[in-house]
Amino acid sequence: MTDLRDVTLRDGLQLTGKPLPTARKVAVVRELLDAGVPSVEIGSMARPDLVPPLADTLDLIRALDPDELARCWVWVATPRHVERAAEAGAVNFQYCLSASDAHNRANIGRSTEDSLAAMPRAVAAASAAGGRIQLCIATSFTCPFEGAVPEERVLAIARDPRAEGARDIVLCDTLGQAVPTQVTSLVARVAAEMPPRRIVYHGHDTWGLGVANTLAALAAGASEVDGALGGLGGCPFAPGASGNASTEDLLFALRPSWLTPSSFARIVRLSGALLDELGEPNRSRAAQGARTSATAFPWALGAEVSCR
Amino acid sequence: MTDLRDVTLRDGLQLTGKPLPTARKVAVVRELLDAGVPSVEIGSMARPDLVPPLADTLDLIRALDPDELARCWVWVATPRHVERAAEAGAVNFQYCLSASDAHNRANIGRSTEDSLAAMPRAVAAASAAGGRIQLCIATSFTCPFEGAVPEERVLAIARDPRAEGARDIVLCDTLGQAVPTQVTSLVARVAAEMPPRRIVYHGHDTWGLGVANTLAALAAGASEVDGALGGLGGCPFAPGASGNASTEDLLFALRPSWLTPSSFARIVRLSGALLDELGEPNRSRAAQGARTSATAFPWALGAEVSCR
Q: What is the pLDDT of residues B245-275, one digit of tens each?
A: 999 999 999 989 899 888 999 999 999 999 9
B236 HSE (CA, 13 A, CB side): 18
Q: Where do the H-state alpha helices sit in chain A?
A: 22-35, 57-63, 66-69, 79-88, 101-108, 112-128, 151-159, 180-193, 210-220, 247-254, 261-278, 285-292, 297-301
Asked if A307 has any chain B CB less than 8 Å from its own CB, the reply is yes
B18 vs B16: CA distance, rounded Å: 6
Q: Do A148 and B304 count as a contact with CB atoms less than 8 A apart?
A: yes
How many residues belong to chain A?
308
B139 HSE (CA, 13 A, CB side): 30
Candidates B184, B268, B285, partner chain A, best to mutate (most A CBs within 10 A): B285
Are B165 and B121 contacting, i.e. CB atoms less than 8 angstroms apart? no
Closest CA to B22 of B72, B51, B64: B64
- Give the nearest partner residue to B300 out of A177, A211, A307, using CB atoms: A177
Q: Is the ipTM of this complex over 0.95?
A: no
Q: In the structure, what pLDDT confidence band is assigned to residue A235 with cuts at 50, 70 and 90?
A: confident
- Give the nearest partner residue to B211 out of A147, A175, A208, using CB atoms: A208
Q: Quote the minimal CA–CA distance from A58 to chain B in Å.
A: 34
Cα-based angle A156, A160, A161 (whole degrees, multiple of 5): 160
Helix (H) or strand (E) holding B218: helix B210-220
Are A57 and A44 contacting, i.e. CB atoms less than 8 angstroms apart? yes
The predicted pLDDT at position A308 comes to 25
Q: In the structure, what pLDDT confidence band is assigned to residue A291 with cuts at 50, 70 and 90?
A: confident
The predicted pLDDT at position B306 comes to 26
Asked if A285 has any chain B CB less than 8 Å from its own CB, the reply is yes
Q: Is residue A136 flagged as an active site residue?
A: no
Asked if B259 has any chain A CB less than 8 Å from its own CB, the reply is no
Asked if B248 has any chain A CB less than 8 Å from its own CB, the reply is yes
Could you tell me the fold of the domain covering B3-245?
TIM Barrel (3.20.20)
CA B90 to centroid of chain Cα atoms: 16
Helix (H) or strand (E) holding B106: helix B101-108
Q: Do B299 and A147 count as a contact with CB atoms less than 8 A apart?
A: yes
Q: What's the average model confidence in pLDDT over A54-79?
A: 98
How many interchain CB pairs under 8 A, A with B? 156
Are B175 and A174 contacting, i.e. CB atoms less than 8 angstroms apart? no
Closest CA to A53 of A8, A7, A20, A88: A20
Are B28 and B41 contacting, i.e. CB atoms less than 8 angstroms apart? no
Those residues whose C-beta lies under 8 Å from the C-beta of residue B37, and which sit 6 or more positions away, are: B4, B5, B6, B247, B267
Round to the nearest angstrom and report the end-to-end CA distance of chain B: 10
The predicted pLDDT at position A225 comes to 97
Q: What's the average model confidence in pLDDT over B136-156?
A: 95
Q: Where are the beta strands (DSSP E) in B162-290?
A: 168-173, 198-203, 224-227
Q: What's the average model confidence in pLDDT over A143-150?
A: 93
Domain A3-301, CATH number (from 3.40.50.300, 3.30.9.10, 3.20.20.70, 3.40.800.10): 3.20.20.70
Q: Quote the minimal CA–CA distance from A64 to chain B in Å.
A: 33
Of A4-18, B74-88, B119-133, the poorest mean pLDDT is in: A4-18
**Helices A210-220 and B210-220, axial angle in degrees (round to 10):** 40
Closest CA to B7 of B281, B216, B200: B200
Closest chain A residue to the Cα of B243, Cα to Cα = A285
Cα-based angle A115, A118, A121 (whole degrees, multiple of 5): 145
pLDDT tens digits, one per residue of B190-208: 999 887 899 999 999 999 9
Strands B72-76 vs B92-98: parallel, antiparallel or unpaired: parallel
Instruction: Say whether pLDDT at B7 is over 90.
Output: yes
- Coil, strand or helix: which one is A40? strand
Residues of chain B in contact with residue A255, where contact means CB-CB under 8 angstroms, are: 179
Q: Where are the domains of chain B?
A: 3-245
Helix (H) or strand (E) holding B192: helix B180-193
Q: Using alpha carbons only, how large is chain A's radius of gyration in Å?
A: 18
Closest chain A residue to the Cα of B146, Cα to Cα = A296
Q: Do B240 and A295 count as a contact with CB atoms less than 8 A apart?
A: yes
Q: Do A209 and B211 count as a contact with CB atoms less than 8 A apart?
A: yes
Q: In the structure, what pLDDT confidence band is assigned to residue B236 with cuts at 50, 70 and 90?
A: confident
Q: Which of A96, A136, A143, A235 is catalytic?
A: A235
Residues β-bridged to residue B198:
B168
- Give the nearest partner residue to B300 out of A142, A239, A249, using CB atoms: A142
Count of beta carbons in the 10 Å neighbourhood of residue A294? 10
- Give the nearest partner residue to B285 out of A208, A252, A290, using CB atoms: A208
